């Protein structure tokens, strides 16, 4: 009796269908920075995409209903002096987004209700204190105005794994920061 080594997939007869051009975002210069990031963040109102920008870091904030070809002069969020590595929307306020950058800062931005009509270069809050570039930003899922930022590793030796019982207090490369955004 012959045994099957590989299990058959339940999805072998499922096929996708390409989306129409008017339902896609087209002509966006997505960042080519070599950092393990999704380069975009989405909430119920907006989509934010990290883009290539000269002279620092920038990202686009597009209303979800704005699809199709995106003009090269579309307004951006630009305030970092180095490339933006990560962005994340606040789970409690759809107008607030945080960005971490190679310039060792985290910036919190307030996006207007109808989206950007002109470039946004003044953040609500600038969080400084990292000695290396900020690779991860993450909002606390339940506490308002609490933001986690983490620097990138450049060590050649691996660090020992940490147990979950040690908690956030003992991890030297992570820092919860309280921001004041209304």
Please check whether residue 116 lies inside any domain of the structure: yes
Residue ranges for the chain with pLDDT beneath 70: 1-7, 152-182
**CATH number of domain containing 73:** 2.130.10.10
SS3 23: helix
Share of the chain above pLDDT 90, in %: 38
pLDDT at 5: 65
Dihedral Cα 131, 180, 121, 26, nearest 10 deg: 90
pLDDT at 36: 75
Domains: count for the chain: 1
Please check whether residue 5 lies inside any domain of the structure: no
Please check whether residue 25 lies inside any domain of the structure: yes
CA angle 107, 110, 116 (to 5 degrees): 110
Please check whether residue 138 lies inside any domain of the structure: yes
Please check whether residue 167 lies inside any domain of the structure: yes
Q: What is the extent of the structural domain holding 114?
A: 21-178
Contact present, 151 and 172 (Cβ < 8 Å): no
Please check whether residue 117 lies inside any domain of the structure: yes
pLDDT at 177: 56
Please check whether residue 1 lies inside any domain of the structure: no
């Amino acid at each position: 009796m012959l045994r099957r080594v590989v299990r058959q997939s339940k999805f072998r007869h499922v096929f996708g269908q390409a989306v129409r051009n008017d339902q896609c975002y087209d002509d966006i210069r997505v960042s080519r920075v070599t950092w393990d990031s999704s380069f975009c963040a989405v909430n119920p109102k907006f989509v934010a995409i990290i883009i290539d920008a000269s002279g620092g870091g920038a990202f686009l904030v597009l209303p979800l209903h704005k699809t199709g070809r995106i003009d090269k002069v579309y307004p951006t969020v630009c305030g970092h002096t180095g490339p933006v590595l990560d962005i994340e929307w606040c789970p409690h306020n759809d107008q607030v987004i945080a960005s971490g950058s190679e310039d060792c800062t985290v910036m919190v931005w307030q996006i207007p209700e109808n989206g950007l009509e002109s470039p946004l270069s003044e953040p609500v809050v600038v969080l400084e204190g990292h000695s290396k570039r900020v690779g991860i930003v993450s909002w606390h899922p339940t506490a308002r105005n609490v933001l986690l930022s983490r620097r990138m590793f450049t060590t050649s030796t691996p660090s020992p794994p940490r147990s979950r019982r040690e908690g956030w207090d003992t991890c030297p490369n992570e820092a919860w920061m309280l921001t004041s955004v209304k």
